[in-house]
Amino acid sequence: MTTDDRIQLLADACALPCVENLLGKVTACDLSAWIAAELGKVSALDAFRPHGPLHSKAIAPGNILHIVSGNTPHAAIQSIIRGLLLGSHNIIKLPSTGLSGLTGCIDRFPVDLQTLIETHDSLTDELLAKSDAIIAIGSDASIEAIHQRTLPHQIFIPHGHKVSMGIVYGDFENAARLAARDVSLYNQQGCLSLHAVYVHGDSLAFSGLLAGEMEKFTVENPQHGLSLSEAGAIRNLRETTRFRAANDPTTGLYESQQSLDWTVIHEPSPALTLSCLNRCVYVKPLPEKINPDTLGPESRHLSTIAIHPFGQDRAASLTHLPAHRICPLGQSQQPSLFWHHDGFAPLASLVKWKDLG
């Protein structure tokens, strides 16, 4: 199968609702442009091309092992599409909790792509040994445990613990609507979900606006399927905040009534605080100096900063922070096909090259 053949098949797969809902619209042209952007030419995997005084060809890994986590199929689908585009055989180690959203989706892929995919429930030494590249998505502890089982010749790409945040500089009404979407989509289960929104200006007023938009989003996209554990975590967070708010006028609690659907917490501390997930978000005043010191230790896990209003100069002014992606608010959950996931070029990081000359 040539790269063009795979692109056509993948375009069909990307048109499936289960993929399009996660990745947005992805066409054959997009896939061609993506591979060309990362590897120089669309045909880089098919033939030797001039490369300075040499002729070079990209070599995809024979087998890619994708170790995926159970919180969201989003990252898993992205990872598998990358492997399929390169023409590798894709071995998927499913989480112990299963990932029906992923397996159900793969079952609808074109047959020629399905032959390039196999799924497994457990991570055996045999699977690890036959993998040329290993992409691990999970907690830092899991990634470390997997890394210890890899061999020096294997490409290892870790996607560990990550969180995202928003920054609002103005236009509060639109910003609240966009932030509510970025917070609520996928119930904050993914790396691109906002845990906190920093606000330049009246952050308490913004909290109220965000609460209203969280409610509107919930009406259209009901929250369901909370476990007892998750419900307990939300309740604990709310009651702790209620205690703080009773003792500190700068702390505010906004919550859905008669339900655990959403929670907005205003707190003055600039430290990036992890949410307990499931549509619970912190709003904080934007510190005068925003840097890893003011954001605290969680900032080293930043994946994405979503800002509003977006501007290239404003985005560039935040590049001293550890996040690898700064995007418009409202789009944190839909990264471009071209994004460098955790700083990695997703296709270029997987291939090796052969040179002639």
Partner 1 sequence: MSHPLSIEHDLHSAMAGGGLGDGAFNALALRVFKHQFDNNTAYQNHCKALGVAPENLTHWHEIPAVTTDAFKFVECPLVTFPIGQTQKTFLTSGTTSELKGCHHFPSLDLYDRSITASWQELALPRPENSIFLTPEPGHAPHSSLSHMMGVLSDTHSRKSIWAVDASGRLDMESITAAVTGNRPVALLGTALAYLHLFEQLTHPLTLPPGSWAMETGGYKGTMRQLEKGDLYRMFTNKLGLAPDSIINEYSMTELSSQFYTRGLAHPHTGPSWTRVRVINPFTETDALAGEPGHLVIYDLANLHSVMAIRTQDLASRSGADLADGRNAFTLLGRDPSALPRGCSRAADHQLRPS
Q: Which parts of this chain interact with partner 1 (CB under 8 A)? A: 69-71, 95-97, 122-126, 137-142, 145-146, 159-163, 189-193, 195, 226-236, 239-240, 242-248, 260, 274-277, 297-298, 301, 303
CB of 171 to partner 1, least distance (A): 28
Residue among 70 and 208 whose Cβ is closer to partner 1? 70
Residue among 43 and 189 whose Cβ is closer to partner 1? 189
Residue among 207 and 241 whose Cβ is closer to partner 1? 241
CB of 263 to partner 1, least distance (A): 13
- Residues counted in the chain: 357
Torsion of the alpha carbons at 318, 250, 180 and 169, rounded to the nearest 10? -40
CB of 255 to partner 1, least distance (A): 12
Q: Report H helices in the chain.
A: 3-14, 17-23, 28-39, 73-86, 100-106, 111-114, 125-129, 140-147, 172-184, 203-220, 228-247, 292-295, 312-316
The residue ranges of DSSP E strands in 115-201, in sequence order, are: 117-120, 133-137, 155-159, 163-168, 194-199
Residue among 90 and 251 whose Cβ is closer to partner 1? 251
Evaluate the CA torsion angle 281, 286, 290, 294 in order and state its sign. negative
Whether 160 contacts 300, CB under 8 Å: no
CB of 179 to partner 1, least distance (A): 18
CB of 278 to partner 1, least distance (A): 9
Consecutive H or E run containing 27: none
CB of 266 to partner 1, least distance (A): 15
Measured distance CA(247)–CA(331) in Å, rounded: 36
Residue among 38 and 261 whose Cβ is closer to partner 1? 261
Q: 104 vs 26, 100, 203, CA distance in Å?
A: 20, 6, 42
DSSP letter for 344, please.
B
Residue among 85 and 143 whose Cβ is closer to partner 1? 143
